[in-house]
Amino acid sequence: EAGVAQSPRYKIIEKRQSVAFWCNPISGHATLYWYQQILGQGPKLLIQFQNNGVVDDSQLPKDRFSAERLKGVDSTLKIQPAKLEDSAVYLCASSLDGTTYNEQFFGPGTRLTVL
């Protein structure tokens, strides 16, 4: 079974530029998560989708971050404009549903460096 796919794997941009990340979850998984993992820290949830609706975006810096999950499958996360402190690995994860605990499966992540 294919896992969670993410692209690109690496991205280097200058501050104030824009960047977008893409995620394709495991087929049939209704819940999709975006996490930010800064070096030396655990993943921090940015946004959670249930199908194409947002369940939780309380930790998403909405002045610069946006995310969408059209048609309840693929998702994109955008940063505009990027700041130095956005340098991190952005992990996408999916699970069968988010109403009871189901194991979250993570993609390989996108490593973002902001110069």
Partner 1 sequence: RKEVEQDPGPFNVPEGATVAFNCTYSNSASQSFFWYRQDCRKEPKLLMSVYSSGNEDGRFTAQLNRASQYISLLIRDSKLSDSATYLCVVTKEYYKLSFGAGTTVTVRA
Residue closer to partner 1 by CB (options 3, 71) is: 3
Q: How many CA atoms lie within 13 A of 15 on its CB side?
A: 6
Among 18, 54, 60, smallest CA distance to 35 is for 60
- The partner residues of 105 in beta bridges, in order of sequence, read 94
Annotate each residue in 53-92 with x if it binds partner 1 (CB under 8 A) or - if it does not, as one string: --xx----------------------------------x-
The amino acid at 6: Q
- The partner residues of 110 in beta bridges, in order of sequence, read 90
Among 2, 15, 3, smallest CA distance to 91 is for 3
Q: Please tell me whether residue 40 binds partner 1 under the rule CB under 8 A.
A: yes
The amino acid at 106: F
- Residue 96 CB, nearest approach to partner 1 (Å): 11
Q: Please tell me whether residue 2 binds partner 1 under the rule CB under 8 A.
A: no
Candidate residues 43, 49, 88, 114; the one interacting with partner 1 per rule CB under 8 A: 43
Residues within the interface to partner 1 (CB under 8 A): 40-45, 48, 55-56, 91, 98-101, 103-104, 106-109
